A and B are shown apart, each in its own frame.
Chain A
Amino acid sequence: MKTYNDLAGDGGSNFVGQVTSQLEKLRTRLDKIKHKIALMSGKGGVGKSSLTANIAGCLADRGYKVGILDLDLNGPSIGKLLSVPNDVKLNVDNDGVHAGEGANGIKIMSMDMLLPTADTPVMWTHKSGETASWVSMLENTAIRELIADTYWGELDYLLLDMPPGSDRIDNIKELIPELAGVIEITIPSSISQHIVAKSITKNNTVGVPIIGLIENMGGYACPSCNAEHPLFSGQDVEELCRQKEVDYLGKIPFDPRISEKTGNGKLFYSEHKDSPAAKAIDVSADKILNFTKSNS
């Protein structure tokens, strides 16, 4: 009786061919983007999306072509941050689904752009009772499609705004093996640092380069006396960097204007360039640029 290897092909499904053509599509797309960087944190709500948007704004202001892929499928926020309304008309043609264009000319793709109304949730079924493994498989496929089918044109930097947690990074590493690296974001609280430390260990284990760690909300300038006060108590974040041997990319202070809408659709970074927070973003961006330049 014949064995598995004796049988050529798979009886008509051509799985190998399908997978190969998926990979080719992915490769052609990724080859047009010089540097791919994921911004992540083991912890939620620490400012990943806000910093992704503002760092992108900073890079765009310096003349780089920048795109942001919002990989927070269930909690997309990049569209809002860059003023791309959810009802933006989608342009679909042979090149793929064209990325939208937001503040500072930044290209974006986000689940929000695919949904019919602003309050439509991302649901993969009409019925309840889907298993977690099924939803996770669909999300993996969705991430592959978002990466392979979005038309960005040529880009210098593609920033990936990751969902909270560290579980998706394996997936990204598989799809984008040439990922320049990840930027970890933490706030100074000890619980956030505790979780981000695990995320760093994981990235080291799976072989994802770590560009460095950004400390967000690292202090608050008192509006009346201008003195800087800490917002959270916790171990010094630079100490965590030394322990984990990752670069410290800087401290972004708390600035309430980061969460405000500017009204004219501009990013905090561009609107308040002289603020300590914007200057800190500049410093982090310099370090990111240095990293990608010395590693390519």
Chain B
Amino acid sequence: MKFLCIPCDTQMETQTDGIMPSDSKNLALKFKCKKCGHSIAMLTNKFETEFVSKIGVEIGGGSEESKSPFNMVGNTLSQAKEILNKDQPAEKKELVWTDEAKERIQRVPFFVRNMAKKTVISYAQEHGATVIDAKLMDEVRDKVGM
């Protein structure tokens, strides 16, 4: 899957923030032309999302989390031993996720979950929030328009 900006004849780049799916499977992936700045969104429904995910890799590039063992299993099972759940990146310890927020981020398909997480974290930091709860996640979604 590649996206081309026709006027510039240039490949568009995957935007790794601004992902905040409202429902676990309706996705919006953003791509931007570096030359003219134009951006587009690819919108998929549940079935199309499943199709995109078949490849088993992360959109926007592999993250640090994706290198940890049993990454998908540990973070996708509805219940798994604590040690497998790398829900919060170590350096972001000062941010607290409420249980509801954790559950919501866990519902995001694993191959875009880290992008969604980054989006939420940077929004929280910009707004000086220390607790990530459902309300903040709603705000993020309103802001990024998805």
Contact = CB atoms under 8 A, between A and B. Distances in A.
Q: Which size bracket describes the interface of B in this complex? A: 35 or more
Given A19-B55, A131-B46, A142 B11 contact: no
Contact of A115 (B46, B50, B55, B79): B79
A12 B78 CA distance: 30
Interface in A2-20: 2, 4, 7-15, 17-19
Interface in A130-145: 131, 133-134, 137-138, 140-142, 144-145
A7 to B, nearest CB: 5
B57 A137 contact: no
A165 interface: no
B14 A12 contact: yes
A17 B62 contact: yes
B81 A116 contact: yes
Interface in B41-100: 46-47, 50, 53-62, 66, 69-74, 76-84
Given A14-B62, A114-B77, A127 B107 contact: yes
B73 A142 contact: yes
B79 A123 contact: yes
B107 A13 contact: no
Contacts of B31: 11
Contacts of B81: 90, 114-116
B6 interface: yes
A21 B67 CA distance: 10
Given A11-B2, A12-B61, A145 B73 contact: yes
A10 B57 CA distance: 13
A238 interface: no
A21 B14 CA distance: 20
A9 B11 contact: yes
Given A10-B2, A134-B50, A145-B72, A1 B9 contact: yes
A22 B57 contact: yes
A228 B13 CA distance: 72
B46 to A, nearest CB: 7
A153 B5 CA distance: 49
A21 B55 CA distance: 14
B55 A124 contact: no
Contact of A11 (B11, B70, B103): B11
A145 B60 CA distance: 20
B116 interface: no
B22 interface: no
Given A12-B13, A137-B53, A2 B4 contact: yes
B132 interface: no
B78 A123 contact: yes
B16 A12 contact: yes
A36 B84 CA distance: 26
A261 to B, nearest CB: 24
- Which of B16, B57, B60, B80: most chain A Cβ within 10 A? B57
A115 B83 CA distance: 11
Nearest to A133: B50
A92 B84 contact: yes
Contacts of A138: 72, 76
Interface of B: 1-4, 6, 9, 11-14, 16, 24, 31, 46-47, 50, 53-62, 66, 69-74, 76-84, 103, 106-107, 110
